[in-house]
Structure 1
Amino acid sequence: MTLNVLLVGNPGVGKSYLLNLLGGAFASGFSIVHGLTEKYSYCESYIGGSKVRLIDAPGLLEATGELTLRNAQEITAALSMEGGYKLVFVLGECSGRVSPSDLYMINKVMTAIGFSIEVGVLINKVSENQLHLYDDASTRTEIIQQLNSVANNKIKKEWMRAIPYIYNDNGTSASLRVTELLQDMTFQCIPHVTDIFATLPEHDQFTERMKMNYEQGVKWLTGHLQAEEDAHEYTFIYIEELVYIE
């Protein structure tokens, strides 16, 4: 069975760069107008002594609807190759949260797969002074909950690594963390993938819903904390009155 390693994300998160650290030879670098990768491609490499096929695919969301639809088709094709998969979502660093654009991308991919699957998660380009955030169990739990909130709980097991943004180590730290994650994962079959369909208006509506849900959550939490504070204050006054009476 062919063993596939596929990194999926939005443009500019560093998918091609990370694959190159594993032995790939994909175009990577800075692009102003759109992502450098326009079509999915693959090459062979070795991870932990096993021969694998590294698959590079375009990021999903582009500046135009036409490019976004093209990229959705390319990601669908990359998910439809023969063999087992280790699927890894590459996300941009967002101070311990997941951006609405990344949540939209995950929702589209997991909907197309349509069943429970184990995936890896790489938070890329994390500054050294932010790495500790992603070692915190509560942060990791929150991120996993965010992912499953848009994947209809189809993600049954997660492996997550934060990839440091270090200028002077030639990618050594990143390579070690990505390799460690992939060696922990197991290859799985994806029997059928429906076409990924993504549009910019739909993305905007999705983002607005996420924003409203977040604001409602903050409002509820603020009210909950205020109610607790009021209850504690009332209890304190009541105790003071009892002491005064005695």
Structure 2
Amino acid sequence: MVLEDPILTSVVFVGDPGVGKSTLHNALGGKFNHGFSAVYGMAVGEPQEVPCHDRRLLLVDMPGIRDHKAPGDRMLGGSAIDRHLEKLHETLNNGQHYVVFLVIKPRLDGAIEISDLALMKYFLDSIEHGPRIGVILTQIKPAILAAANDKLRMALQRIDPDLNLVAHNHLALCRHVGMFNKEDCERVQRFVLSFEPKQVRVRRMASNELERVTRKLSILPKGTVHAQLDQEASGRDNGATRRSPHFPSPMEKSPQSHGSTKTVQRPFSFRFGDIFHRTKSSSDPTAGHIPSHPQLVDDTSPRIILIGNTGRGKSTILNALGGRFVTGYSDDRETASSTANVLLDGKQFQLVDIPGARVSEEEGYSRYFLSLYSELNNRSHLYLIFVVITTRNGRVDVFDLAMASLLHDFMETGPSVGFIFNMVGKEQMDVIQHQKYYHAVLKRFSSEERSMLESKRHLVLMDHEDEFSKDERKSVQQHVLSFTPSTVRVADRDKSLVKLEANHIQNLLHQYARCL
């Protein structure tokens, strides 16, 4: 039945920059600018009234909340966020009937970023009256669709356990290029039209309050890491033998019956606050990888390490260098680390696969820091180090910049650190390869007196499914071999941990966003 004079329903999508809000509006019949913007968010258009089945919709395109530096906006940091929150407040309190949706782009492993979780909670807590809020997940790789759905349910249990404000069902949309296909457009329309519009009343929102919620969700309890380390160190001192706090050698000698020795690859794992050496042979199916060249036994060969958050494709890149590491999303990969010996251009290297920091978990950065510190705190090894970055709709993820700064802050000397942009959409390749974009990524570090971050060379890899093509593997190898390995000197561990426990990472996130 078509209504003769249907009520005008205003549609608002709330989310951070680059999650696809304008594209969702266009799936409802809008004609907003959308797509890639390397440094700035897309310009927000005027509301558009469109017919959709038996309803009339007013599509209200809102700016990304954390778009710290929008076109024509001279305000930076909190001031810009305050402006966007104020616009959202004024829009929703204008007396019209609204349906409101939170739009989230999950991480590449399906998890919800702390920043998105905080925005969800803060916005829901600010609502005094209104309709049920819908949640839309966008730009999901099909392989992690189930994981993304599960992670969202876990996140909602944390911020709205009784689902008093959020609808029980959510919409999950796989990756797209530009526009949704016809089927996805229909899904978006059916989902939006299933919500009953109501007048909304929300409290005034502010950036400092949003930051407070973010800190509360991600704060590391003071002293937790140190207490754990002290307890474990005490246990080692009281034991018969004391394990070295340094990164263990992945190669051991095991006796054979005929008196000779056999080299066995020993995988290792990271536990919270400590490094321990697993006594598993390389044939163990739970070891995490098969050594590419087990006959190579020289432990002095340069080590190749990729720095990055979980789900950035680090293991896949290492496999392009000859490794056979487990790839893809898995909850139990959090503590699984391993090595492989490979030959590149006739030279011997060790690949070290360190699990990424899970930024959506408490203590994620500190645990990762301890793992990384224990590996790099060894002056007898040479290293090649690379930071792996992915993008959110083509825009650099500030959590990846925070990871680069974590390395930059505690590594006093070492090799030039390279950048690898991974899983870049085809339509974004040319823009990201342009030097101006890369310089924008490094802008935060340009004021430093010293910087080991390479400012001239970077590698851009197109989106892929678990493995690279032959040409891409060659590009990875050439990029890695263009760097010169060097020893590393790291800063004091305890001082670095204090900075992490004081929410240093969260402060860095705001600094980086001001640079982009």
How does the TM-score come out when normalised to structure 2? 0.37
Which residue of structure 2 lines up, in the alignment, with residue 205 of structure 1?
507
Q: Does 1:59 align with 2:338?
A: no
Pick from 74, 77, 84: which aligns with 2:382? Answer: 84
Structure 1 gap segments, 5+ residues each? 218-246
Q: Does 1:25 align with 2:324?
A: yes
Identity value in percent: 19
Which residue of structure 1 lines up, in the alignment, with residue 178 of structure 2?
none
Which residue of structure 2 lines up, in the alignment, with residue 228 of structure 1?
none
The structure carrying a bigger helix percent of its residues is 1
Which one-letter code corresponds to 2:315 in the other structure?
Answer: S
Q: Does 1:166 align with 2:490?
A: no
Alpha-carbon distance between aligned partners in 2 of 1:2 and 1:119, rounded to the nearest angstrom:
18
Which residue of structure 2 lines up, in the alignment, with residue 233 of structure 1?
none
Against the structure 1 CA distance between its residues 135 and 100, is the aligned structure 2 distance closer, same or farther, given a 3 Å change threshold? Answer: closer
Give 1 or 2 for the bigger CA radius of gyration.
Answer: 2
Structure 1, residues 67-106: CA drift from partner, whole Å, max 9, x if none? 4322221111222343211111111124665322112111
1:10 touches 1:105 (CA, 8 Å); kept in 2?
yes
Which residue of structure 2 lines up, in the alignment, with residue 187 of structure 1?
485
Identify which range, 127-136 or 61-70, moves more after superposition: 61-70
Offset at 1:119? 1.0
Which residue of structure 1 lines up, in the alignment, with residue 333 of structure 2?
36
Which one-letter code corresponds to 2:333 in the other structure?
Answer: L
Structure 2 gap segments, 5+ residues each? 1-299
Against the structure 1 CA distance between its residues 55 and 12, is the aligned structure 2 distance closer, same or farther, given a 3 Å change threshold? Answer: same
Against the structure 1 CA distance between its residues 92 and 73, is the aligned structure 2 distance closer, same or farther, given a 3 Å change threshold? Answer: same
Alpha-carbon distance between aligned partners in 1 of 2:316 and 2:478, rounded to the nearest angstrom:
17
2:312 touches 2:388 (CA, 8 Å); kept in 1?
yes
Against the structure 1 CA distance between its residues 150 and 43, is the aligned structure 2 distance closer, same or farther, given a 3 Å change threshold? Answer: farther
Which one-letter code corresponds to 2:309 in the other structure?
Answer: N
1:125 touches 1:164 (CA, 8 Å); kept in 2?
yes
Against the structure 1 CA distance between its residues 115 and 43, is the aligned structure 2 distance closer, same or farther, given a 3 Å change threshold? Answer: same
Offset at 1:169? 7.6
Alpha-carbon distance between aligned partners in 2 of 1:37 and 1:23, rounded to the nearest angstrom:
22
Which residue of structure 1 lines up, in the alignment, with residue 402 of structure 2?
104
Structure 1, residues 135-156: CA drift from partner, whole Å, max 9, x if none? 323223322334x248664225
Alpha-carbon distance between aligned partners in 2 of 1:74 and 1:111, rounded to the nearest angstrom:
16
Which residue of structure 2 lines up, in the alignment, with residue 123 of structure 1?
421
Query: Considering only aligned residues, what root-mean-square deviation do their CA atoms show, in Å?
Result: 2.8
SS of match in other structure, 1:65: coil
Q: Does 1:3 align with 2:302?
A: yes
1:89 touches 1:122 (CA, 8 Å); kept in 2?
yes
Q: Does 1:16 align with 2:315?
A: yes
Which one-letter code corresponds to 1:172 in the other structure?
Answer: K
How does the TM-score come out when normalised to structure 1? 0.74
Alpha-carbon distance between aligned partners in 2 of 1:141 and 1:73, rounded to the nearest angstrom:
30
Which residue of structure 1 lines up, in the alignment, with residue 434 of structure 2?
136
Against the structure 1 CA distance between its residues 153 and 101, is the aligned structure 2 distance closer, same or farther, given a 3 Å change threshold? Answer: farther
Which residue of structure 1 lines up, in the alignment, with residue 366 of structure 2?
69
Offset at 1:192? 3.7
Alpha-carbon distance between aligned partners in 2 of 1:174 and 1:110, rounded to the nearest angstrom:
28
Higher RCO (C-alpha under 8 Å, 6+ residues apart): 1
Structure 1, residues 108-165: CA drift from partner, whole Å, max 9, x if none? 111111236411110000112211112323223322334x248664225342010111
SS of match in other structure, 1:26: coil
Against the structure 1 CA distance between its residues 97 and 78, is the aligned structure 2 distance closer, same or farther, given a 3 Å change threshold? Answer: farther
Against the structure 1 CA distance between its residues 105 and 200, is the aligned structure 2 distance closer, same or farther, given a 3 Å change threshold? Answer: farther
Alpha-carbon distance between aligned partners in 1 of 2:472 and 2:502, rounded to the nearest angstrom:
32
Alpha-carbon distance between aligned partners in 1 of 2:466 and 2:401, rounded to the nearest angstrom:
31
Pick from 329, 337, 342: which aligns with 1:45? Answer: 342
Which one-letter code corresponds to 1:110 in the other structure?
Answer: H
